[in-house]
Amino acid sequence: MLLIGSIFLFFLIIGAPVSFAIGLSGFAFFVTSDVMPLSIGVQKIAAVSQSFPLLAVPFFVLAGHLMNESGITDRLFKFSNIAVSWMAGGLAQVSIILSTLMGGISGSAVADAAMEARVIGPKMIENGYSKGFSAAVIALSSLITATIPPSIGLILYGYVGNVSIGRLFLAGIIPGILMMIVLMVTAYIIAKKRNYVAKDARKPTVRELTVAFWEAKWALLFPLLLIITIRGGLFTPSEVGSFAVVYAVVVGIFSHRELSFADIKRALADAISDLGMIMLIILMSGMVGFAITFLQVPQTVSGALLSGLSNPTAIVAAILGILFIAGLFVESTVLVLLLTPIFVPIIKQLGVDPVHFGILMMTLVTLGSMTPPVGVAMYTVCAIMNVRVEHYVRESLPFLAAILVLVFALLMLPDVVLFLPRLAF
């Protein structure tokens, strides 16, 4: 295992693509193994590609791009703007609300952050918000997409850890809403102190709010339909992904009348580009996943943790600390694919619900995308908005602290996370 880890870290440090780093480290295991032929490694790559549950990933990625092209994003922005722009830090509140709503559309934190940096970022700066504060709000609010269904990370976690994706989707709703509230309160306190309040701000009338809600109804209805169809047994998570694609096309063409053939082609091209990267990482992880199991890494790690700590909550907290640190340096998709087979058997042995653990894990590993040194969402937002990283980091600290406090609270109160899955299943 030391050889695999060393090769993986070496290629990451020299800047090689993540999929190459994973593939070469897995390849090294089979080349140096005396008992495991290289052909098994090739079979493991092929076996990953034959997974039916994994079909949910390309379907939801394509659905997200189609919904962006169909005018759904614009309507969600209008609804969010009318609903909360009158508050202190109004545009920051709009960003947080929009991330919550977009979590049910894109399923990707980086995609959400990039979109908002282009749409809301310039408006925040024009209205007197500091660049660092604007970038921090936009980047960290995109973390909500890690738990709000259909989170791509939750799909991968459920697939690798053999955990019900339907239960994970339901479990992510309350933590996502709580994260929205925590971030909104933090933004409100900072905005109030700095007087980030629009001069002409006013509360919307019931009519304005109702009209905006009605215009965005198809976007707001989608996450609800997603949960109902899975829970009702109408679709599996993979099948509901294909339903999402059809839904996006029908809404874009017949309801919004904005989705043209050129838009569909552009959405397909963007989805193929995203999936090329995601699927190559997933396929290469097949070899490493097998090596981790073969070398009995979960048992070794479990023995080390269980011998040093006796309290299950303390052990889970230690694992979450490891995940948070790892998330600072490695992309969340990679961590889910590599570490889920190690930690899920451990937390099951402790009697911890893997659904509860999955929500906390996805939150922390995705948080690495918003923090230095290798945060993809952080660098994306800073590049689009021309913000210095040090300014972003300083302004992000209150939001980061609020999120960590929330994660700790959810760790101590598992019933909050598991309330909806237990109610529905």
Helix axes 297-308, 261-294, angle to 10 degrees: 70
Half-sphere exposure of 263 (CA within 13 A, CB side): 17
Q: How far is CA 42 from CA 53, 120, 217, 283, 284, in A?
A: 21, 46, 47, 10, 10
DSSP string, 260-321: -HHHHHHHHHHHHHHHHHHHHHHHHHHHHHHHHHHTTHHHHHHHHHHHH---HHHHHHHHHH
Q: What is the mean pLDDT of the chain?
A: 84
Binning pLDDT at 50, 70 and 90, where does residue 229 land?
A: confident
pLDDT per residue as tens digits for the range 331-364:
788 788 888 888 998 899 888 999 999 999 999 9
Among 117-131, 161-175, 285-299, 400-414, the range of highest mean pLDDT: 400-414
Alpha helix positions (H), 150-252: 152-161, 165-171, 173-194, 206-215, 217-231, 237-250
Q: Which two tokens stand for residue 239?
A: 């099948």
Mean pLDDT confidence for 23-36: 82
Amino acid at 405: V
Q: What residues contact 82, with CB distance under 8 A and at least 6 apart? A: 204, 208, 209, 212
Residue with the bigger pLDDT between 41 and 208: it is: 208
Q: Which domain holds residue 398?
A: 2-424
Q: What residues contact 251, with CB distance under 8 A and at least 6 apart? A: 67, 70, 72, 218, 259
Q: How many domains does the chain have?
A: 1
Tell how many helices (H) and how many strands (E) occur in the chain: 23, 0
Angle at 343 between CA 337 and CA 349, to 5 degrees: 145
Q: How far is CA 257 from CA 72, 105, 217, 250, 253, in A?
A: 11, 18, 15, 9, 5
The tokens 């070469």 sit on which residue?
Answer: 24
Residue 306, pLDDT score = 63
Amino acid at 415: D
First to last CA, the chain: 39
Cis-peptide, bond into residue 58, ω within 30° of zero: no
Residue 356, pLDDT score = 96
Q: Which two tokens stand for residue 117?
A: 């940096």
Residue 200, pLDDT score = 67
Alpha helix positions (H), 350-413: 354-367, 376-385, 389-412
Residue 287, pLDDT score = 81
pLDDT per residue as tens digits for the range 108-155:
677 778 878 887 888 888 888 899 999 999 999 989 988 888 788 888
89: left (phi over 0), alpha (psi -120 to 50) or beta: left
Under 8 Å between Cβ of 243 and 229: yes
Collapsing DSSP states into helix, strand and coil, what is residue 189? helix
Q: What are phi and psi of 367, to 5 degrees?
A: -60, -25
Collapsing DSSP states into helix, strand and coil, what is residue 240? helix
Burial 382-392 (b: 16+ CB within 10 A, else e): bebbebebebb
Burial class for 275, CB neighbours closer than 10 Å (0-12, 13-18, 19+): middle
**Whether residue 55 has pLDDT greater than 90:** no
**Whether residue 258 has pLDDT greater than 60:** yes
Amino acid at 126: E
Mean pLDDT confidence for 371-382: 82
Residue 418, pLDDT score = 95
Torsion of CA 289, 295, 296, 297, to 10 degrees: -70
| Stated pTM of the model | 0.82
Under 8 Å between Cβ of 19 and 284: yes
Mean pLDDT confidence for 57-75: 82
Under 8 Å between Cβ of 145 and 105: no
Q: Which two tokens stand for residue 326?
A: 């790892």
